[in-house]
């Protein structure tokens, strides 16, 4: 007897199982897609209702009636608590890039911004140099830097700026990788070691929904920016395991920043970070973990006896005691600084430099880029032939007595004085001159870079302004963590001498008038001239302020500079 032949196909036989699988697969897909769809709808609704602000680096504006893009004062909001975010100085990018224009974006944190006064930062010296030596070329040096940010913020910034036909990006960053947003030593954001997680947080914080949640979470809490003293309780040891992901993420951010510049067809120059070694004592120190109390007592006695001898100029005897203390605990940053000062006094400058560097790297309030940060910057440039390196750390060392940078080039820990800014700008100028297209390079006038004195005449950096800027630094030194430094009194006295300068008002006015006559379009010259005039001639000051407007409908007084 023959068996009945089934006419049901294999596909038909498997249909129940397929349907069963699809039914179960739809559950997790629905669980993912439904919330995602709700988030998208919520984001669109918040935008339509005008909740929140754009997190792009720029915003549309007009300049003298022409379309342009200007600074977005809310760009840094995703990196700071509500009410505390730092703002860029006003800048404008013309929508139409005129023929013969070379567009340079300067990016970084406070040093690149030009702290304490951005009108005399290295970007301004560079602008003057380029204008004087290449008068046939229009150089747009656009400083987009923001104080207290770090490489996490520079990546989305350069992604936006890459849309504006850049020719060159100048990157000066590294001082705030630990204390800046998402660093282990910050009070601004929660720390996370995962680069992917941090970038996800930045992306979410940039949305209107993220902004709303942050605002609701903050409630009635009023955050206030208090500068470096906010970080006093966020010390990070040099041997902390938290630093390894900081270095790894910094290198990844730099690589990605360089990749964005290349895709935009722009050149990129990355600089190491110059720091004050000789005249900046560590901000904070911690003893090695696990030190026994009897060892700590012995250490204290040795250091106290050594300090007494050092104060009388008995450097050999003090050094012996300090070195004995270092055998007990070599990780205390201030002790390494004391050893360095004794070696300097005894003429052992190589040994002093080594100890000054060690004191910097052991500083547990990490407001200075340590040696590893600069190694990473050099390595990124070495691995990519399309990334140019400007070694600011080496430049200031070469220009300092015995190769150890100090107060000759710095106001305090990282912010350079006029001489330091000039030297960095000069190094950048030489690099840029080699990058220019032949047609622009051949249009140079003169053989030498303009001198520091010539640059400062063109910037109207008068005696009045020098004293004013020194006074700004003095106010900073009156607060922690500067007041905790071993050499605080010495540094205050040094700055006081710079701030106590007699000035001739008529002479200052003449200097400004001369500089403005050389470059009537320099809005920052008009701004500073207005501040000089406002005490003596308010009407004339008002005219200068209006000439200083960075773009149409901008406030008359730029928010990064207040009346003195």
In a domain, 564, yes or no: no
pTM given for the model? 0.91
Residue 198 has a pLDDT of 96
Question: Tens of pLDDT along the chain (564 residues)?
Answer: 444 444 454 444 456 665 555 555 555 655 556 666 666 676 677 677 766 788 899 999 999 889 999 999 999 999 998 878 898 989 999 999 999 899 999 999 999 999 999 999 999 999 999 999 999 899 999 999 999 999 999 999 999 999 999 999 999 999 999 999 999 999 999 998 999 999 999 999 999 888 888 777 776 677 788 899 999 999 999 999 999 999 999 999 999 999 999 999 999 999 999 999 999 999 999 999 999 999 999 999 999 999 999 999 999 999 999 999 999 999 999 999 999 999 999 999 999 999 999 999 999 999 999 999 999 999 999 999 889 999 999 999 999 999 999 999 999 999 999 999 999 999 999 999 999 988 887 777 777 899 999 999 999 999 999 999 999 999 999 999 999 999 999 999 999 999 988 888 999 999 999 999 999 999 999 999 999 999 889 999 999 999 998 877 776 544 444 434
Where is the domain boundary, 409, 427, 461? 461
Structural domain that includes position 305: 293-362
What is the domain count for the chain? 3
Burial tier of 439 (Cβ tally within 10 Å: 0-12, 13-18, 19+): exposed
Shared-domain flag, residues 155 and 79: yes
In a domain, 48, yes or no: no
Q: What is the DSSP track for 217-281?
A: HHTT------GGGGGTT----TT-TTHHHHHHHHHHHHHHHHHHHHHTT-EEEEE------TT--
Tell me how far apart the alpha carbons of residues 286 and 281 are, in angstroms, rounded to a whole number: 14
The closest of 225, 477, 486 to 338, measured between CA atoms, is 486
Shared-domain flag, residues 205 and 323: no
Where is the domain boundary, 362, 387, 407? 362
Range list of β-strands (E), 127-172: 138-143, 168-172
In a domain, 4, yes or no: no
Residue 555 has a pLDDT of 61
Residue 15 has a pLDDT of 62
Residue 24 has a pLDDT of 55
Shared-domain flag, residues 393 and 537: no
Shared-domain flag, residues 332 and 382: no
> Could you tell me the CATH number of the domain that includes residue 95?
3.40.50.1110
Shared-domain flag, residues 127 and 269: yes
In a domain, 340, yes or no: yes
Structure tokens at 319: 């050094």
CB 268 within 8 A of CB 261: yes
In a domain, 236, yes or no: no
> Could you tell me the CATH number of the domain that includes residue 328?
1.25.40.10
Residue 113 has a pLDDT of 97
């Amino acid at each position: 007897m023959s068996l009945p032949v089934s006419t049901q196909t294999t596909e038909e036989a498997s249909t129940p199982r397929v349907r069963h699988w699809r039914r179960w697969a739809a559950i997790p897909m629905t669980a993912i897609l439904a919330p995602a769809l709700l988030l998208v709808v919520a984001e669109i609704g918040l935008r339509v209702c005008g909740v929140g602000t754009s997190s792009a680096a720029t915003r549309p504006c007009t300049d003298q009636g022409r379309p342009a893009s200007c600074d977005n004062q809310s760009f840094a909001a995703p990196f700071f608590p509500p009410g505390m975010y730092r703002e860029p100085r006003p800048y404008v990018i013309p929508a139409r890039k005129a023929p013969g224009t070379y567009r340079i974006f300067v990016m970084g944190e406070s040093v690149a911004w030009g702290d304490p006064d951005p009108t005399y930062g290295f970007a301004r010296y560079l602008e003057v140099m380029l204008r004087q030596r290449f008068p046939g070329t229009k150089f747009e040096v656009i400083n987009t830097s923001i104080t207290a940010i770090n490489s996490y913020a520079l990546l989305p910034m350069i992604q936006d700026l890459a849309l504006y036909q850049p020719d060159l990006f100048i990157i000066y960053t590294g001082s705030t990788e630990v204390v800046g947003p998402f660093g282990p030593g910050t009070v601004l954001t929660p720390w996370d070691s995962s680069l992917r997680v941090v970038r996800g947080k930045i992306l979410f914080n940039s949305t209107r929904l993220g902004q709303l949640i942050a605002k609701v979470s903050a409630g009635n809490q009023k955050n206030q920016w208090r500068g470096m003293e906010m970080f006093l309780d966020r010390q990070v040891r040099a041997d902390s395991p938290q630093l390894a992901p900081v270095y790894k993420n910094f290198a990844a951010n730099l690589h990605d920043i360089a990749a964005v510049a290349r895709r935009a067809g722009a050149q990129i120059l990355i600089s190491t970070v110059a720091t004050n070694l000789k005249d900046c004592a560590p901000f904070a120190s911690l003893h090695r973990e696990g030190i026994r109390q009897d060892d700590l007592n012995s250490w204290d006695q040795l250091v106290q006896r050594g300090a007494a001898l050092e104060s009388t100029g008995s450097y050999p005897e003090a050094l012996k005691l300090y070195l004995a203390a270092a055998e007990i605990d070599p990780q205390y940053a201030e002790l390494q600084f004391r050893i360095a000062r004794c070696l300097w006094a005894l003429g052992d400058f190589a040994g002093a430099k080594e100890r000054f560097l060690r004191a910097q790297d052991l500083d547990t309030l990490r407001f200075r880029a340590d040696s590893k940060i600069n190694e990473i910057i050099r390595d990124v440039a070495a691995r990519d032939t399309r990334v140019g390196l400007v070694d600011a750390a080496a430049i200031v060392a070469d220009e300092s007595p015995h190769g150890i940078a100090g107060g000759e080039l710095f106001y305090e820990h990282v912010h350079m004085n006029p001489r330091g800014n000039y030297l960095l700008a000069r190094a950048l100028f030489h690099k840029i001159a080699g990058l220019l297209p032949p047609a622009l390079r051949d249009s140079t006038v003169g053989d030498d870079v303009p001198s520091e004195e010539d640059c400062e005449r063109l910037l109207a950096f008068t005696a009045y302004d020098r004293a004013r800027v020194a006074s700004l630094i003095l106010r900073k030194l009156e607060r922690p963590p500067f007041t905790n430094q071993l050499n605080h009194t010495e540094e205050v006295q040094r700055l006081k001498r710079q701030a106590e300068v007699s000035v001739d008002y008529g002479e200052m006015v003449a200097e400004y008038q001369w500089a403005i006559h050389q470059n009537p379009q320099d809005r920052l010259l008009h701004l500073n001239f207005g501040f000089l005039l406002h005490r003596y001639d308010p009407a004339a000051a008002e005219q200068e302020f209006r000439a200083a407007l960075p773009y149409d409908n901008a406030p008359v007084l730029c928010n990064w500079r207040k009346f003195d």
